A and B are shown apart, each in its own frame.
Chain A
Amino acid sequence: MMDDKDMQTPLLQINQLTVTLKKRQALFKAVDNLSLTVNKGEILGLVGESGAGKSMVGSAIMGLIDKPLFISSGEIYFKQRRIDINAQPFRGAEISMIFQDPLVSLNPLRTIGSQLVETIRTHIPLSKSEALERAKRLLEEVGIDPARINAYPHTFSGGMRQRVVIALALAPEPSLIIADEPTTALDVSVQAQILDLLKQLCKDRGTSIILITHDMGVIADTTNRVAVLYSGRLAEIGKTYDVLKNPCHPYTKGLVAATPQINGASLKNKLFQIPGSMPDLNSIPAGCAFYPRCSQAVSRCEGERPALFDNRTACWLFDKGAKPK
């Protein structure tokens, strides 16, 4: 699907992004010095628990960060060009976003056809009839009968509505789609269909997808690469198979071990428990954010924040240049 040549020119590059929250004159970092890349034609998973900052990263790319949050440092490059944080129209045409709740993503007072046509014509100069044709083809692509183009959103079920939302996201022919928990509100069977659809679109169109979720199972089923976030920082990143099968970062190890599996023989054994919980924004430890909960911590972890080693994990245990303990 992708050759090494493409690997050298990432589609999206985030450099040292920091998103800060201002509350009562104090500043807190919701995303802290995060860097990652998205390649062409791949599905990158952004996984983390609530408060890890994964949705924030998606919003930052789309320019949806509003007071009291703001981007305090870092740059985002799309197709090698630096994105101006406030440039709306640019993003709409090249990067699209899908949200969790299809109920509120669609205007209930307008037919899906009119919403699709409007989105198409905003980004591509077409006549009304041409846009309508294109809209019908988009509906076919996402698995909706094009005859329903004049139907209203409330006549569709949750899963079908999410397909309409995906069609809307595809309308401007974007190179990148950011999907923020797109299947969390859907039933399991519908979820499987939507995830399959996303995989199909990536394969057929070459559109890259950033899939934001808290569900490790979804990551396993859908993504090529995955980035694990903790307290607004990158804990681990790599090919999904590698990260899930052989996790490096103690947090990733804990997450994988804590995720229940469908196992015909599983006889109510206890799941692995990571002690404690993710720190609040105002009490993130000085060194490694995971230090208080880590069973493999060394003294260095307490005071110094680890850098990303091997392009894989931010953990002092993997600092090959370090002296032995």
Chain B
Amino acid sequence: MSYVTASRLTRRYDLSDPWFIRMIAGRKTNVLTAVNQVSFSIEKGTTYALVGESGSGKSTIAKMLAGVLTPSQGSIEIDGQDFNNPGLNNANKKLLRQRVQMVFQSPYASLNPRWKIGDILLEPINAFNLIEDKASRHKRVIELLEQVGMSAHDQMKYPHEFSGGQRQRISIARALACHPELIICDEPTSALDVSVQAQVLNLLKDLQNENTLTYLFISHDLAVISNMADKIGVLKDGELVEEGKTSDLLANPQHAYTKMLLAAAPDIGAYIS
């Protein structure tokens, strides 16, 4: 059985006017379906990429898998457990949360500017109560920093003292803090320069191998996805229009939208090979 299974995920937003305005002005209800019956599954230790343009619903799906947005319909199962099961008590909910973490797009908005790095990394450790004594917690923080290629004395600094790429590494370290199994990467390198992007993508690959991590990788950049993903799902206007292994999908796209995306994507490779 797959590690992550999303079944018929749907998310609707009710944008209607209040009912008596509708009555008076004769307007209809207006419901926006951001995500429509999207199903996919991810094998443990692999990277599944969701590619789409703005309005495709990829960020909404990311948030639903992260647990910060409730699906209007459909279910999410992680390692056999239903994520949104109302029967789950708080303790189990927390355990489930511990297994899923997220790395965000904006290096500037993903770290609290008023907190020291050490505190930012301590927060998940404290919240999930993973380590008992204080000394070991601090050791863990240093361990996390070194895992992402940074150093122990960075923990006394503030986010604004770091570059975009370094901040993304700190975000990754924070995501690793509670030993998650699934990491949702929401456009983690879209705001970074090419050389920094290479460093971060390589880091993500290394971490995946060392810790058997499963990634849901969200991006609009087909080149990055080619490099990162085992399987790709193509989203258009909230629907999954095509899905397949990376090599298959890129070599033999079936859906017209996929073909269009591939044709439109600027690719240095096509130029120089």
Contact = CB atoms under 8 A, between A and B. Distances in A.
Bound together: yes
B222 A220 contact: no
Interface string B193-220: 1111111011001000000000000001
A261 B194 CA distance: 12
A226 B224 CA distance: 23
Interface in A69-101: none
B202 A262 contact: no
24 contacts: A49-B195, A50-B164, A187-B53, A187-B220, A188-B221, A215-B266, A217-B267, A217-B268, A219-B268, A220-B267, A220-B268, A220-B271, A221-B266, A244-B272, A255-B195, A258-B195, A258-B198, A260-B201, A264-B250, A266-B246, A267-B247, A268-B47, A274-B195, A277-B196
Nearest to A280: B163
Nearest to A193: B264
B220 A266 contact: no
B230 interface: yes
A262 B265 contact: yes
B228 A262 contact: no
Interface string B173-210: 00000000000000000000111111101100100000
B194 A259 contact: yes
Given A260-B198, A263-B226, 14 more contacts: A189-B53, A220-B266, A220-B267, A220-B268, A220-B270, A221-B271, A258-B194, A261-B269, A261-B273, A268-B227, A268-B229, A271-B201, A273-B199, A273-B202
Interface in A180-235: 187-189, 191-193, 195, 214-222
A189 B260 contact: yes
Given A188-B261, A261-B267, A269-B227, A255 B250 contact: no
B254 to A, nearest CB: 14
A258 B269 contact: no
A34 B263 CA distance: 36
B32 interface: no
A218 B223 CA distance: 12
Nearest to A51: B193
A265 interface: yes
A294 interface: no
Given A258-B198, A267-B247, A191 B224 contact: no
Interface string B91-132: 000000000000000000000000000000000000000000
Interface string B237-273: 0000000001100110000000011111111111111
Contact of B226 (A266, A270, A272, A273): A266
Interface in A49-80: 49-50
B261 A189 contact: yes
A87 B226 CA distance: 48
B54 interface: yes
Nearest 8 interchain pairs by C-beta: A261-B269, A217-B266, A192-B264, A264-B251, A220-B271, A49-B193, A258-B198, A187-B53
A5 interface: no
B71 interface: no
Interface residues of B, number: 44
A303 B268 CA distance: 34
B165 interface: yes
A103 interface: no
B113 to A, nearest CB: 19
Nearest to A196: B264
Contacts of A193: 264
Contacts of A195: 266
A271 B201 CA distance: 8
Interface string A257-297: 01111111111111111100100000000000000000000
Nearest to A50: B193
A146 interface: no
Interface string A26-58: 000000000000000000000001100000000
A259 B222 contact: no
Contacts of A255: 194-195
Contacts of A244: 268, 271-272
B107 to A, nearest CB: 12
B76 to A, nearest CB: 25
B250 A262 contact: yes
A218 B228 CA distance: 21
A218 B43 CA distance: 34
Contact of B202 (A214, A215, A245, A271): A271
